[in-house]
Every structure is written in C-alpha cells, then in structure tokens.
Amino acid sequence: MRAILVDDEPDGIRTLMKLLELHCPEVEIVATCPNAVTAEQKLSELKPDLVFLDVQMPGKSGLEMLAGLSEMNFKVIFVTAHNEYVLQALRFSAVDYLMKPVDEDRLIEAVMRAKERVRQEKDPEQTATLLHNINKVGSPMEMRLCLPTLKGFSVVKLEEIVYCEAQRSYTIFRLVDNKTIIISKPLFDYDRLLADTIFFRIHKSYLINLLHVKEYIRGEGGTVIMSNGMEIEVSRRKKELFLTKVKEHFKY
C-alpha cells in the first residue's frame, strides 16, 4: 500500500516512518507532509492507498482537509494526541486511529484493517459518519454510531437505539420500529463507548437509552418499561445510580 504521512511535528513523522519500516513492510511511504495544504497537493499528485493523518494541526486540521475534498479514494488512519471529544467521535465512527505516542501493536492492527478495506473497497460512509460526528462534538446524543456487521457496517443515530442486550459474546441492538442489529462484540465494549451519553447499564445484560424509558415501577431493584413495550429488570445494586442519573437528565 502506498502511503502518505501528514503531521506538523517532525518527530512524529520520523517515529511513524521508523515503526512502519520495522513492522509494516507492506506499506510504502511515498510522501511526508507537514501540513494540510501540502497534503492536498500530494494526494492529487500521488493518489495513495492510505493516509496517516494528524487530527489537530496549525492552520487547517486534518478533519477540515478531509471535509473539503471532492472525493476520497484512499483509506485514513487518524493520529491524535488528546481531546476526549474528538476521540469519542473517532470511536463512534469506527474509523482507525492511533494515539500518540504510537504503539507498534496498534499500528500493525490498524494497517492490517486498512489493507483489508483497500481489498474490499469500502468505508466512505465511515468517513462521512466521522465528519458528521465531528460537527456534533460536545453533543454526543446527536452523533451517529457505526456498528460493524457480518456484511460491513450499519450507521445508526443514538436516539434510534432503544436498548442493547447481551447475548453471550454478542450484543443485540434493539432499535425503533422493531429493527435489530446483532454485533459480534460484548456489551461491555458498548457500555464503555457510550459511558458519557444518556445510556445506562441497568443490569449485567442490558444497556438502555434513558430517552426511551416510558415508566419505572418500584421494586427491590424495580422495572423499567421501554418505548417498545419491553420490561427490563433493574439490578438492585444499580437502582440508586439509575434513579440519580434519571434525575440529572430529566431534572425532576
């Protein structure tokens, strides 16, 4: 795969070049760029398969550069140093990203996934989802979630998710209009991913969207009735935290 590295920090470029040379011989570095303007020129001239793109750079950011392109015939691995909101947008969009300092194992995994995507010629929708999410940074409920499926992936709005249900090592997403998506990842992964949103793990097997709670019935832990009619038991140890979170969000 022919690759371009885009980073305003020379040390970042040098480190990434060395790691790629040592661990990813399938990647040929055809250019390095210190800013988005130079990167745009090299993209047009060299038409790479893969771009390692620093998220935050002086002047035009990597994300602004992508948003301004008329077409994108390459795969992107984002590189970022910080900013929790940007990280959330990256995770929600299911794009590959590397945290600085770059870990060699994560780099190898990201390159392998990029290689597979180049082979399968898919993921413009993932980038479109990312750009949407970046515009909604700080408003997680307006973001979209990219869910990997056997056929590729599905993009859903967070507000469309009624609840998530654990089924062994799988997670079942129950959506509005009785739609269902089955994901081959454990519920724990989505509990962590959606931690700073209006989702709450009320039971070891259920992660619910508080916006879809129609009714709460008192009991030892209690029961919630969701907008699709599903009745879900609240774990005894989660009861107080659940009621606190409801009060915080709905101000009652």
Q: What is the CA radius of gyration of the chain?
A: 21
The whole-angstrom separation of Cα 124 and Cα 66 is: 11
SS3 81: coil
The architecture (CATH level 2) of 140-250 comes to Beta Barrel (2.40)
pLDDT, one tens digit per residue, over 103-161 is 999 999 999 988 887 776 656 677 788 888 888 877 878 889 999 887 778 999 999 99
**Mean pLDDT across the stretch 232-244?**
95
- Burial of 7 (C-beta count, 10 Å sphere; 0-12/13-18/19+): buried
- pTM for this model (two decimals): 0.75
**Mean pLDDT across the stretch 213-239?**
95
The whole-angstrom separation of Cα 58 and Cα 36 is: 9
pLDDT attached to residue 121:
63
CB-based contacts of 111, cutoff 8 Å, min separation 6: 1, 20, 24, 26, 27, 50, 77
pLDDT attached to residue 102:
92
pLDDT, one tens digit per residue, over 185-223 is 999 999 999 988 899 999 999 999 999 999 999 999 999
pLDDT attached to residue 162:
97
- Listed by start position, the domains of the chain span 2-135, 140-250
2-135: CATH superfamily: Response regulator (3.40.50.2300)
pLDDT attached to residue 122:
56
